[in-house]
Amino acid sequence: MNIKSTGNISSITFIVMFGFLFYTGLHEGLLGFTYCFADTLDSSKISNKRPVDLFTPEELQLYDGGLDSKGLYLAFLGKVYDVREGAQHYKPSGGYSFFAGRDATRAYVTGDFSDEGLIDDVKGLSNEEMMGINNWMEFYDSEYVYVGKVVGRYYDKDGHPTQALQDALAAIEKAKANKRDEAEEKQIFPPCNSEWSAEKGGRVWCSNKSGGIDRNWIGVPRKLYRPGETEPRCACVRTSGPPSGSSDTTEHENRGDLDSPLLKEYPNCSPESVTCSLSP
Ligand code: HEM
């Protein structure tokens, strides 16, 4: 699966190590643990005043897959899943045991698996990180059995969504819209090819497949200054036809998108050239 990580080196090392162990199956043999949990519920540990599909964070902790635990559950964005099917990952000796019995949504995209990092709050995450949250949310929905909700940040005591859940879902929608806008922008301003070498320095150039955008025009390199971003990126710009967004029938200068106010020419590069050397 496509996993995004912004974690620190030690977290990644940790995961890479376990990733390796998963593949080789060595961790089972090395650690010698056997996965097991009681089949029956110990009612003294669970309050039965509320519908069964609501868990306090403390109740959820009882489902960490340990020897005397009630099962193997985890929560993501307030929704509780039975992850028995993935016991090899989440059981106490598994590489992702820290996700069991809790809602640690934030850590899935920060890679911070410390106690401070294993939290459910997703406030302040970037669009890219919220896309990661969305992917994990879809993953758990499709791969595991949904068994309830955690009462707390994302669901209230009656199991109704909280403002925090609505905010998180809105942030996901915003991230999706941002991704769509970026994809649209790439069609109009495909990224340039680029290379760098110590002897020759940098070079950017356009071709009819640059930036992964297959097209029937090549374009010329320009610096594209996107609103809200300080650093420009290299874009290949169409040099004939109407500007994007206007139809062929409206009067135009036949200069494609060359007159977009978001663009600047590369210094010491002919405006018509399909390739530009970058000054050091
Ligand atoms: C933020 C970083 C990461 C997070 C949050 C994460 C999380 C997870 C989770 C939750 C699973 C279990 C999925 C399931 O229920 O089936 C998993 C599986 C796995 N992860 Fe990661 N992971 C991360 C990074 C990595 C990296 C860098 C590697 C590279 C070696 C890796 C290798 C694996 C492997 C090999 C599996 C097992 C796949 C399978 O059995 O199908 N993970 N990961």
Positive or negative, the CA dihedral 252, 254, 259, 260 is positive
Determine what percent of the chain falls in helix, strand and coil, rounding each to the nearest 5: 30, 20, 50
* Domain range annotation of the chain: 9-180, 189-278
How far apart CA 104 and CA 121 sit, in angstroms, is 8
108 lines ligand 1 (CB under 6 A): yes
Give the pLDDT of residue 52: 53
Predicted confidence at residue 19, as pLDDT, reads 37
Q: Is the CB of 19 under 6 A from ligand 1?
A: yes
Quote the ligand 1 centre to 135 CA distance (angstroms).
13
The CATH superfamily assigned to 9-180 is: Cytochrome b5-like heme/steroid binding domain (3.10.120.10)
Sorting pLDDT into bands at 50, 70 and 90, what band is 280? Answer: low
| Identity at 229, one-letter amino acid code | E
pLDDT of residue 27: 31
For residue 181, count other CB atoms closer than 10 A to its CB: 11
Mean pLDDT of 191-218: 96
- What b/e string do you get for 20-46 counting C-beta neighbours within 10 Å, with b at 16 or more? ebbeeeebbeeeeeebebeeeeeeeeb
Q: Is 139 in the pocket of ligand 1 (CB under 6 A)?
A: no
Q: Give pLDDT tens digits for 221-269.
A: 999 999 888 999 999 999 999 999 887 778 889 999 999 999 999 999 9
Half-sphere exposure of 124 (CA within 13 A, CB side): 4
Q: How far is CA 18 from CA 78, 88, 132, 138, 194, in A?
A: 26, 11, 21, 23, 36
In the structure encoding, which two tokens stand for residue 125, read together?
């995450």
Tens of pLDDT, residues 117-154: 999 999 999 999 999 999 999 999 999 999 999 999 99
The angle, 0 to 180 degrees and rounded to 10, between the axes of the packed helices 127-143 and 163-188 is 110
- Compute the distance between CA of residue 107 and CA of residue 17 in angstroms, rounded to an integer: 18
Pocket of ligand 1 contains residue 4 by CB under 6 Å: no
Query: How many Å is the Cα radius of gyration of the chain?
Result: 26
- Looking from the CA of residue 89, the nearest atom of ligand 1 is 12
> Which residue has tokens 């150039």?
205
Which is it for strands 145-150 and 54-55: parallel, antiparallel or unpaired? Answer: parallel
Q: Is 14 helix (H, G, I), strand (E, B) or coil?
A: helix
144 CA: nearest ligand 1 atom: 15
Report the nearest-CA residue for atom 7 of ligand 1. Answer: 108
pLDDT per position as a tens digit, 160-190:
999 999 999 999 999 999 999 999 999 999 9
Taking the centre of ligand 1 as the mean of its atom positions, its distance from the CA of residue 81, in whole angstroms, is 17
Query: Ligand 1 test: best mutation among 1, 14, 15, most atoms within 8 Å of CB?
Result: 15
172 alpha carbon – ligand 1 mean position (Å): 22
Decide: 217 in ligand 1 pocket, CB within 6 A: no
